[in-house]
Amino acid sequence: MEVNLTFGDETPDGDGEGGPGDGSAASVLSLYRWLVAEPELRGHARLSTRARHAAPGTMGDGLDLVNVVLANSIALGGLVTAVAAWRGSRPRPPQVRLERDGVVITLQDSSPETVEQVLRLWNEGTGPAPAPADGDDE
């Protein structure tokens, strides 16, 4: 099973910093290193980084996705949990887009409930789903 991890908006909230590709390669490498070090994924996942094709006439910004090939569906839970934990470790966590079999989910918070929701949606195979809420509805 293959999952691609990219970064949602690529534009941080607030101070006007950012923009397409700003810090994307650094985020990709940080997430990649985090996942490689994750004990639950060792032996169950093959990880790589790569650049998506840049738009015609642009050079692109280098690495912008982490590709994960999982040995089994049990490792999927470890992957989603590890991505949520990585987001929780960031001072300004970016949105992370997870794509599996054409179904894209944007991870906007790192709560256990969100991890469960992502896994439930993918395991049910219900097709595209709305992005999990970022916790503002409480």
Q: Which CATH number covers residue 6?
A: 3.30.70
| Cα 138 to Cα 128: distance, rounded to the nearest angstrom | 24
Q: What is the pLDDT of residue 52?
A: 66
Say if 114 falls within a structural domain: yes
131 is a domain residue: no
Residue 112: domain span:
2-124
Domain-located, residue 109: yes
pLDDT digits (tens, 9 = 90+) for 101-126: 888 888 888 888 888 888 888 877 64
Q: pTM of the predicted model, to two decimals? A: 0.73
Per-residue model confidence (pLDDT) at position 12: 41
Structural domains of the chain, count? 1
Residue 74, both tokens: 């049990």
Q: Is residue 129 part of a domain?
A: no
Cβ distance 47 to 36 under 8 Å?
yes
pLDDT band at 31 (very low <50, low <70, confident <90, very high): very high
